[in-house]
Structure 1
Amino acid sequence: MRRLLALSALALALPLAIAAPASAADRITGHAFATRSEVMAPHAMAATSHPLATQVALDVLKAGGSAVDAAIAANAALGLMEPTGNGIGGDLFAIVWDPATKRLHGYNGSGRSPRSLTLAEFQRRGLQDIPPHGPLPVTVPGTVDAWFALHDRFGRRSMADNLAPAVLYAREGHPVHEVIAYYWDRSVPRLSKWPGFSEQFTVDPGAGEARRAPRSGETWRNPNLANTLETIGREGRDAFYKGDIARTIDAYFKANDGFLSYEDLAAHQGEWVEPVSTNYRGIDVWELPPNGQGIAALQILNILEGYDLAAYGFGSPEHVHLFTEAKKLAFADRAASYADPDFHSADVARLVSKDYADERRALISMDRAMQAAEPGVIPQLNEGDTIYMTVADADGMMVSLIQSNYRGMGSGMAPPGLGFILQDRGEQFVLKEGHPNSFAPGKRPFHTIIPAFATKAGEPWVSFGVMGGAMQPQGHAQIIMNLVDFGMNLQEAGDAPRIQHDGSTEPAGQATPMHDGGELDLETGFPYETVRVLMQKGHSVRFAHGPYGGYQAIMVNPHGGYIGASESRKDGQAAGY
């Protein structure tokens, strides 16, 4: 966390030496700002939010594994090493570039709500929102299913081999990294009341001290997770959804006022989906369709394509204002239309069309910030915290993968002896009848986690993502803008100061409409002249530390091999060979 604050302090000096309006500038050189150089390698690349997970991915690639094998191995390691953001109790989405077919494949690995839990039960309990922790927000975890689906189509090594590095680290231990330790410590007071959490996710320092989170540099072991991963590697997908692991989860929830059952787990199945794209100034940007929020990034970009952002320059009042207004419009549609397509089929083609963007763009004033943003008229068709990582192999396969327990370490519900926490993704449902994202049994909630991909002339260009709740589509759009409009390289595009607008109508909770324009968070590094102009336009500007997401990316090097970049605000690493 100290590094995150130090980075913000360093970025504070950026406006003093901006040499050209088209980029965020270093305070000394005047060149585009980056905390470090891009990483380049001739054969393969991995970029994850933890250096040891990146090394796990590279070891798998060097041993002959595909990018998918390496992604699974690294994701399993991250569930151990960064339980503040992910684990096998959560969901997973992925986009895979397959060089054999020269096309993208998407996988929606999100789980459904318990079939025995109803909207009436929440009403009986007098709840207006689904609580963030405990048994009620828990939905079926989709990660293990997604691993095996991806592996069945694109894997080369056995799943036991892919999971072996995580098993080894779980048994022998690894040092906890700084940012992870910070968030772990914040989670313990909130989650220790739930059975199984304290026993499995805190340490006993002895000498009569209370159990606590492991501290930065301390060794963390999770033998229970090691046993669980070994069982999955040995017995396969059904060991998790239909075997003793599922029976343990079932008994745990029955004993703790919960609803997730063996039958819910046994019925789970993720699905292959077609990615959706828009062309932004010659670059095809790809996202997955709802129940995720990925197409919000496409809607933002479509609206912004009507403005000459390069001429305005990075950090200009026009750049920040137009981005914020486009976000408000896209998020109004997000609240009204994004939901499980099995329950509410929005017209995705219309939402991401250029004609629709033209209509929405006409609502933007260059002089005044919107105080309210209504969704467009989109007919329903008759025919929905986090880690992000990406891997590319020597054959040209690229994987864009995101995985999460949702809020921090999830629900706090940790079944005995299994070594993982169940997600609290169900908090994203709305407890209102008739809303597209209204709670229903066996329904997938609105999802924030989204992987992204960009192609150029039908060939892979960048596999990337920006983790972090509602920041994700905002971050995706900003990365593309930084690369395309402002000419930044891959690392600069992630290190440049970020914009986050908060306060739009949400597709979750009580879905209260925005009426006051929301709040505009600007990371330190934007000129004060820009801030003053934004306030004159009616924006409420804040300077917040931390809510700007976490970025990883791999770009195809036109000269051969790959270029990698990793988030400077977190513990991650991009590396290749």
Structure 2
Amino acid sequence: MSKMYTRREVLKLGGTAIAASVMLPEISWGRETGIVNHPGAVSGDPDGVRAGMKVLAEGGNAIDAVVAAALVTCVTANNKCGLAGYGGHMTIAFGGSNKVTCIDYNSAAPAAARADMFQINETGKVKDNLNSTGWLAAGVPGTLAGIQLALERYGTRSLSKLAAPAIELARNGFPVSASMARAIRGTAPALRRFPGSAGLFLKNGEPLKEGEIFRNPDLAKVLETLAESNSADAFYDGELARKIADAFQKNGGLVTTRDLAEYRAREVEPLSLKWGNLTIHTAPLTAGGLTIVQILNILQEMGWKKLRSEPERTHAFLEALRLSWRDRLALLGDPEQVEVPIKHLLSRDYAHELANQVRKTVKDKKPLSIHTPEVIDDGTMNLSAVDSAGNMVAMTLTQGGAFGSKVTIEGLGLVLGHGMWRFDPKPGHPNSVAPGKRPLHNMCPSIVTRKGKPVLAVGGAGGRTIPNSILGFLTNYVALEKSMDEAIAAPRLHNEGNMSVEIENSWPKAEVDYLALLGYKITVGPQAYVSAVSFNPKTGECRGVAR
């Protein structure tokens, strides 16, 4: 089978023509799994997966496939992500080398943003929810800039070609999914407030129902404009950018043409942690990867894998998680603008200190005294892809909550994400609002390598449950040496440092009872949706799973 090369590898070969073609077997679908085959795999949203698999079938690499999948998903799952969604991160690994890299396309606050721009009411919440709903909730969208940067540096196909499936779906329509229908019902009162959103998602004033055909011809025109120039530049600097900025100005928003023109996605170095013969690479701040690495450091330092009692192992896992969430919510922010003690948080000395606290509290059979605030949100998508050369991508992108700001720009069909909600609305916090600042978010697309070669890519969707669900997957796969199928099936839990623990029904009763006896408030609740792909360097088999 021909090797697939990234664009940069092609240039290094001095212009040698490279041709790659694959023959895909018939695609089979399961409710909880992705696709299993040798030439390549994509995992995530079903509509996006189909588009990505078609790209692989036509010889594109994993980066091409995930871009096509993302563009389609931004059309068909626009409650979770969108072309004007606030952004995210992706982690990329290359089968032909030991390189792993990240693309940061997180939203940025507009230049006019200020730390005290949102008034706090007597309950401690933002007055009128202006940081989550409406034009002030939207910062500079980063999704398209991230797609373009990844494609320019590592793709082999044109944006024009990869956008074609998304354009067709936006123009001709598709049946509303059950997930999208639920999101429309749940947000209908807010959607009604904005004419662009009401016109798209409501019919005769009522929410669109599952199975009804949804069309967004204005969005199709936006995509066509980008495809014609084979670039996303018009979104940030051109006639399209002017229309976007004019809509913000007309409706009291802050984003300007200058904010759009000055926005840049950027390539950044991932955080890495070695465990045995495997290495985890994950997205750095302002993404959620630091929290995952910090927890894994604690577990590794305390010899977590060697704990014989399953209830004690779960208790130790939970306490390590709580300590790291305490630090996350108090200390983390955009390292380009505030001082974040990254080296200290990831140091062996600090891991040793926290590991001792976990050992003691597990031995004493009692929880650590930690209290943190609770916030709920949902509106994210993850896509993972692998090709026959072992190139891998985990790409997470988001609106924020369902339909983000709930605002749709009339005439463009662009649903705006609410990146400003990801800031702490109170001045003086490392994650407080500031001009040009990028908010702390929960996405943590990750890749696992063995002896430098990528073997697995994984990411999640589900707001603040993402880091913990990815952590659970990785501890099973890396620390406990379980298969990808076993890791995806393992029960998940969520906690943010407090005494409330949400679990899946499948958690063993003995462990649940043990945590309850320690004083934890246990409830059954939803966890992040995790999608992963794997690559076997010996056989070339590519697999995808999701749950």
Structure-1-length-normalised TM-score:
0.82
Question: Could you tell me which residue of structure 2 aligns to residue 211 of structure 1?
Answer: 206
Selected match of 2:255 from 252, 260, 281: 260
Distance 2:175 2:506 in 1: 32
Superposed, 1:303-314 pairs within 5 Å as: 303-307=298-302, 309-310=304-305
Given the alignment of the two structures, is residue 186 of structure 1 paired with residue 186 of structure 2, yes or no? yes
Change (3 A) 1:276 1:394: same
Is the contact between residue 133 and residue 418 of structure 2 (CA under 8 Å) also seen in structure 1?
Answer: yes
Distance 2:34 2:477 in 1: 13
Q: Which runs of 5+ in 2 are unaligned?
A: 1-29, 373-378
Distance 1:174 1:561 in 2: 35
Distance 1:37 1:84 in 2: 22
Change (3 A) 1:525 1:443: same
SS at match of 1:305: helix
Superposed, 1:327-342 pairs within 5 Å as: 327-342=321-336
- Aligned AA for 1:527? P
Given the alignment of the two structures, is residue 456 of structure 1 paired with residue 450 of structure 2, yes or no? yes
Distance 2:31 2:51 in 1: 24
How far the C-alpha of 1:36 sits from its partner, in A, is 5.9
Is the contact between residue 41 and residue 561 of structure 1 (CA under 8 Å) also seen in structure 2?
Answer: no
Given the alignment of the two structures, is residue 475 of structure 1 paired with residue 456 of structure 2, yes or no? no
SS at match of 2:314: helix
Is the contact between residue 293 and residue 338 of structure 1 (CA under 8 Å) also seen in structure 2?
Answer: no
Selected match of 2:532 from 553, 560, 565: 553
Selected match of 2:95 from 80, 99, 102: 99
Change (3 A) 1:153 1:38: closer
Distance 2:540 2:177 in 1: 30
How far the C-alpha of 1:253 sits from its partner, in A, is 1.5
Distance 1:466 1:139 in 2: 23
Change (3 A) 1:522 1:456: same
Question: Could you tell me which residue of structure 2 aligns to residue 431 of structure 1?
Answer: 425
Change (3 A) 1:282 1:540: farther
Is the contact between residue 248 and residue 415 of structure 1 (CA under 8 Å) also seen in structure 2?
Answer: no
Distance 1:100 1:492 in 2: 28
Is the contact between residue 367 and residue 519 of structure 2 (CA under 8 Å) also seen in structure 1?
Answer: yes
- 1:148-196 per-position Cα deviation (integer Å, ceiling 9, x unaligned): 1111111211111010111011122222322332223222233221231
Question: Could you tell me which residue of structure 2 aligns to residue 152 of structure 1?
Answer: 152
- 1:368-389 per-position Cα deviation (integer Å, ceiling 9, x unaligned): 1123169xxxxxxxxxx21001
- 1:355-412 per-position Cα deviation (integer Å, ceiling 9, x unaligned): 32111111221111123169xxxxxxxxxx2100111122221111010011111001
How far the C-alpha of 1:231 sits from its partner, in A, is 0.7
Question: Could you tell me which residue of structure 2 aligns to residue 242 of structure 1?
Answer: 237
SS at match of 1:200: helix
How far the C-alpha of 1:199 sits from its partner, in A, is 1.1
Question: Could you tell me which residue of structure 1 aligns to residue 521 of structure 2?
Answer: 540
Change (3 A) 1:493 1:183: farther
Selected match of 1:418 from 397, 412, 420: 412
Structure showing greater relative contact order (alpha-carbon pairs closer than 8 Å, 6 or more residues apart): 1
Question: Could you tell me which residue of structure 2 aligns to residue 118 of structure 1?
Answer: 114
Distance 1:322 1:107 in 2: 33
- Aligned AA for 1:536? L
Distance 2:391 2:366 in 1: 45
Q: Identify the range of structure 1 (450-459 vs 115-124) with the bigger mean alpha-carbon deviation.
A: 115-124
Is the contact between residue 278 and residue 449 of structure 2 (CA under 8 Å) also seen in structure 1?
Answer: yes
Distance 1:454 1:541 in 2: 32
Is the contact between residue 400 and residue 451 of structure 1 (CA under 8 Å) also seen in structure 2?
Answer: yes
Distance 1:36 1:128 in 2: 38
Is the contact between residue 454 and residue 462 of structure 1 (CA under 8 Å) also seen in structure 2?
Answer: yes
Q: Identify the range of structure 1 (458-467 vs 97-106) with the bigger mean alpha-carbon deviation.
A: 97-106
Count of residue pairs the alignment pairs up: 502
- Aligned AA for 2:89? F
How far the C-alpha of 1:322 sits from its partner, in A, is 1.4
- 1:309-367 per-position Cα deviation (integer Å, ceiling 9, x unaligned): 555579x3223211211111111221233211111132323322333211111122111
How far the C-alpha of 1:538 sits from its partner, in A, is 1.9
Given the alignment of the two structures, is residue 564 of structure 1 paired with residue 510 of structure 2, yes or no? no
Is the contact between residue 456 and residue 535 of structure 2 (CA under 8 Å) also seen in structure 1?
Answer: yes
SS at match of 1:136: helix
- Aligned AA for 1:472? I
Question: Could you tell me which residue of structure 1 aligns to residue 366 of structure 2?
Answer: 368
How far the C-alpha of 1:494 sits from its partner, in A, is 1.7
Given the alignment of the two structures, is residue 522 of structure 1 paired with residue 503 of structure 2, yes or no? yes
- 1:412-457 per-position Cα deviation (integer Å, ceiling 9, x unaligned): 1111111121111111212333321111122111122221111111
How far the C-alpha of 1:275 sits from its partner, in A, is 0.5
Structure-2-length-normalised TM-score:
0.87
Question: Could you tell me which residue of structure 1 aligns to residue 40 of structure 2?
Answer: 44
- 1:98-157 per-position Cα deviation (integer Å, ceiling 9, x unaligned): 234430111101121111232344359998535311112211001111111111111211
Distance 2:251 2:34 in 1: 49
SS at match of 1:401: strand
SS at match of 1:541: strand
- Aligned AA for 1:172? N
Distance 2:394 2:308 in 1: 29
Distance 2:371 2:502 in 1: 18
